[in-house]
Amino acid sequence: MRLLLAEDDEALGRGLFRLLGDAGYAVDWLQDGLEVDEAGFVEPYDLIILDLGLPGKSGMDILQDWRQEGLHTPVLILTARSSWADKVAGLRAGADDYLAKPFHNEELLARVQALLRRSGKTLRLLGCGPLQLDEEGQQALLNGETIALTGMEFRMLRYLMMNAGRVLTSSQILEHSYDQNADMESNIVEVYISRLRRKLGKDWITTRRGQGYVFSPPR
């Protein structure tokens, strides 16, 4: 899952970037409202965490622009404005949830996961034949046996499983598995596909030459 974190507070943003990354998400962290506005339109985010007090352009204006232009990506407002009037205004502008600062990290993660579930982006236990991916436990199980995965492997496998049976290009896999600051080599998808094949078995992922990859249970 790829998230956009829009937060201009340096200390809070850095902490949330680390928290979300450790939870298995690919995260783009932006601090300027104009950059956030543009990124929401051009990048394929699964969820956006949006602070209202951004420099350049306020989070409220950004959210209204997104919704007026038909952008339906789930948005969690994260702000110090905690009055009921502010919450109502944010929800009416198109937010899917509202979390006031200060907050507990566990609550933020729970709300993110709830919004992703609500939007059909994730399930607590994602299954494909004898393979299961435990979102909350951040682990994979094959025939009941735990498979050790790195964070990158987990994110890529999650995207592949959510699109089982579909042909996915390398670009699609990159967009949903890596943040924009990741140091990516030209063959990075091929490298991680090879690692997943070694851990799961080579027949789980089929290469369609000139097209991409297909994930499905071995026959």
Number of domains in the chain: 2
Examine the pLDDT at 98 and tell me if it is beyond 80.
Answer: yes
Task: Give the per-residue pLDDT at 121.
Answer: 60
25 shares a domain with 47: yes
137 shares a domain with 96: no
Task: Give the per-residue pLDDT at 185.
Answer: 60
What CA dihedral angle connects 201, 208, 116 and 109, to 10 degrees?
50
What percentage of the chain carries pLDDT values higher than 70?
92
State the CATH number of the domain containing residue 132: 1.10.10.10
Q: Report the chain's mean pLDDT, rounded to a whole number.
A: 87
> Which of 49, 83, 118 is a domain's end point?
118
Secondary structure (3-state) at 175? helix
Residues 13 and 101: their CA atoms lie apart, in Å, by 13
Task: Give the per-residue pLDDT at 158.
Answer: 87
Secondary structure (3-state) at 213? strand
Task: Give the per-residue pLDDT at 179.
Answer: 62
185 shares a domain with 156: yes
Instruction: Print burial letters for 26-54: b (CB count within 10 Å at least 16), e (below 16).
Output: bbbbbbebeebbebbeeeebbbbbbbbeb
Q: Looking at residues 117-132, what average pLDDT do you find? A: 74
Secondary structure (3-state) at 208? strand
Q: Looking at residues 55-64, what average pLDDT do you find? A: 94
Q: Looking at residues 69-92, what average pLDDT do you find? A: 85
Residues 44 and 27: their CA atoms lie apart, in Å, by 12
17 shares a domain with 59: yes
Examine the pLDDT at 2 and tell me if it is beyond 60.
Answer: yes
Residues 196 and 182: their CA atoms lie apart, in Å, by 19
